Structure 1
Amino acid sequence: MSKQMSGLKSGSRDAGTGLARRRSRPVSFELLPGLVLCVVGALLAMGVARLLGTVSPLLVAIVLGALLSNLVSLPARLQPGLTFSAKRLLRLGIALLGLQLMFSDILGLGWGVIAVVVAIVSLGIVGTMFAGKLLGLTWTQCILIACGFSICGAAAVAAVDGVVDAKEEELLTAIALVVIFGTLMIPTIPLLSGMFGLDEMTAGMWAGGSIHEVAQVIAAGGALGGAALGVAAIVKLARVLMLAPVIAILSVRQRKLSDSSSTGGSRPPLVPLFVLGFVACAGLRSADVVPESVLDLAKLLQSALLTAAMFALGVGVRIAMLKKVGARPFILAALSTLWVATIALVGVLLVS
């Protein structure tokens, strides 16, 4: 009898061990359905963007994801992979974005234009935060919109969220606002540049200093002319480079809040790993040690990663949620767009 009981216990342990292995093993498989959906969404978005020519695959991915989630009821098993894509793939894509930057190109703008870029980002964030406070929005909602509109759009929004840990609806609202207002800026800047009588170089600097997404800047710069396109892209990438110090400052703030909190909690890193990766990639590109073939492959991979991440974020954008947040975030987005564009215009006119 004792031997039988011992055998049963042994069998139970074996069964328990087997069950534990089966439970631990599928963790990566839990990500698979959502990851596959994001890969398909990214491929579709990149194909559509290629056909249309001047549209960013990131923006197409956000729209496709939003359409899918609002038209179809998605199963819960997709969520782990969607979350992984929206966080991990996004951070890797941001790190690789540094390979598009060359410090020499940015220094070639001259110290006057560099000072204007710093003013656009710093004053843009401060002004947006002030307006958001007057509107009664939360600090996290304000900082997401402020950084997205002042630095580099949806990628900046998601990068900041990785440090400040905003609510999901605040993150998704900021992403949606970047798409809406950044897209409206594509025809607006060329139109206003013509009305103001700006030459191509000045108009290009204005586009690069005021429009939210890199791809949106490229679209507007292309409409302004060849000379405008080149300078617009470099000015915009100078704004992208400001992502690193801004994230570092926000991380220090969060660490101080964590230290002073009575509940304790985990402290964020002084500088997030993906920001260090971003700076390291920019350094490698600037040192000219990366072969052109590797740069081409890295650019494709970076675009694919960010597109997949934006598709995942787009899935979370629901019309009911945007209705729920009300008009105040939209008002702040409009004010921030006008504020950043005004700073950029005054700045480029002063240095031109």
Structure 2
Amino acid sequence: MESRRERLVASAREKSGGLLLAVTIAAAAVFLSEHYGAPQMLFALLIGMAFNFLATEEKTAVGIDFSARTVLRVGVALLGIRLSAADILGHGWVPVAAIVVFVASTIVAGLVISRLAGRSIDFGLLTGGAVAICGASAALAITSVLSPEKRSERDTLFTVVAVTTLSTLAMVLYPVLFKSLGLDDNQTGFLIGATVHDVAQVVGAGYSVSDVAGDMATLTKLQRVALLPIVLLVILAFNRGRGGEKGTVGLPWFLVGFVILMGINSLGVVPGVVRDVLSDTSRWLLVMAIAALGVKTSLKEMFAVGPRQAMIVVGETVFLLVLALGFVLAVM
């Protein structure tokens, strides 16, 4: 009879080819990002698509599936180490309350726009959540909690491409727009953090204005990211309410891990070097996951979603921008 150790060795060997492919693509994406300045997620996605022919190969298929699911969830769990309660409440309750309203309203707008465009509620949840919270990372996390029968890897890849592209454009255009409106650095930083999708682009846009704007943008963005576990819980409950998976609604292990790590980090007991290592590990695992998703999706399938779907994400992005800008002009 095969021992447990032998089974583990066999499983590791079965996954090794796909894992190596995902790691290689992730490394290439990070290298290109560091040297040419474009988002890592986008590079990983595009390079992964070039290897779509390996998605069904016996030596790589299992490892690619493992990277797109389990590796993804570990990466999402480790995101929690970046956050703390002090980050969330650092500038008082009014900005925090505003961020909660922005996130909730953008997700609801995503549901409405998606239905008006003839797409499903789940597509609205996916795109609205990605726009509202933290771009590609949020899209991957939301995909993880959608019911299997409602989950579409093509929709996930489309969402990652759309929010990453729009986030990159926003990184360049938003600082110019906010300056033209006569906003100060504090207001500009808040708006950048409240409206740009991906964390890296928030940091880039904020510090391109000033250190004050960069600090405010980063803090505001972390407040949006901190709402990710709450949104995932709401989606789980929402799916159950629509007759989704039966039985008790348990918390996904990666969501529990996210909250625990955020709580531990809030206590201030995590050494800076450990936090940096875990944060970098999270980033690497998420780049690996998006690389694997890219391998599993062909370019032809990617563009099959059409321009209508692109307009959904654009509509959500514009909605969030107008909402946040209105708040700043009226309150800050």
Moved more, 237-246 or 185-194: 185-194
**1:244 deviation in Å?**
0.9
The answer to whether residue 226 in structure 2 is matched with residue 241 in structure 1 is yes
The answer to whether residue 162 in structure 2 is matched with residue 177 in structure 1 is yes
Of residues 24, 30, 40, the one that matches 1:46 is 30
Gaps of 5+ in 1: 1-16
Matches within 5 A, 1:181-330: 181-258=166-243, 267=247, 269-330=249-310
Once residues 48 and 198 of structure 1 are traced to their aligned partners in structure 2, the CA distance between those partners, rounded to angstroms, is 34
DSSP-derived class of the 1:327 partner: helix
Change (3 A) 1:66 1:218: farther
**1:287 deviation in Å?**
0.3
Instruction: Name the structure 2 match of 1:338.
Output: 318
Larger radius of gyration: 1
Conserved? CA contact 1:208–1:235, under 8 Å: yes
Counterpart amino acid of residue 58 in structure 1: M
Change (3 A) 1:224 1:313: farther
The answer to whether residue 78 in structure 2 is matched with residue 96 in structure 1 is yes
Instruction: Name the structure 2 match of 1:59.
Output: 42
**1:268 deviation in Å?**
7.2
Conserved? CA contact 1:97–1:302, under 8 Å: yes
**1:124 deviation in Å?**
0.4
Counterpart amino acid of residue 331 in structure 1: M
Residues 172-227 of structure 1: CA deviation (Å, up to 9, x unaligned): 22122122222221112112112211111111111110011111111211222211
Once residues 310 and 129 of structure 1 are traced to their aligned partners in structure 2, the CA distance between those partners, rounded to angstroms, is 24
Aligned CA RMSD, in angstroms, stands at 2.3
Of residues 56, 62, 69, the one that matches 1:80 is 62
The answer to whether residue 12 in structure 2 is matched with residue 31 in structure 1 is no
Counterpart amino acid of residue 157 in structure 1: A
Once residues 283 and 208 of structure 1 are traced to their aligned partners in structure 2, the CA distance between those partners, rounded to angstroms, is 22
TM-score, length-scaled by structure 1:
0.86
Once residues 273 and 190 of structure 1 are traced to their aligned partners in structure 2, the CA distance between those partners, rounded to angstroms, is 38
Change (3 A) 1:284 1:159: same
**1:62 deviation in Å?**
2.2
Change (3 A) 1:234 1:59: farther
Conserved? CA contact 1:151–1:243, under 8 Å: yes
**How many equivalent residue pairs?**
328
Conserved? CA contact 1:163–1:247, under 8 Å: yes
**1:316 deviation in Å?**
3.4
The answer to whether residue 129 in structure 2 is matched with residue 147 in structure 1 is yes
Conserved? CA contact 2:55–2:64, under 8 Å: no
Residues 303-337 of structure 1: CA deviation (Å, up to 9, x unaligned): 21111112112223433113321221101011011
Counterpart amino acid of residue 345 in structure 1: L
Once residues 326 and 214 of structure 1 are traced to their aligned partners in structure 2, the CA distance between those partners, rounded to angstroms, is 27
The answer to whether residue 329 in structure 2 is matched with residue 349 in structure 1 is yes
DSSP-derived class of the 1:26 partner: helix
TM-score, length-scaled by structure 2:
0.91
Conserved? CA contact 2:186–2:213, under 8 Å: yes
Conserved? CA contact 1:247–1:271, under 8 Å: no
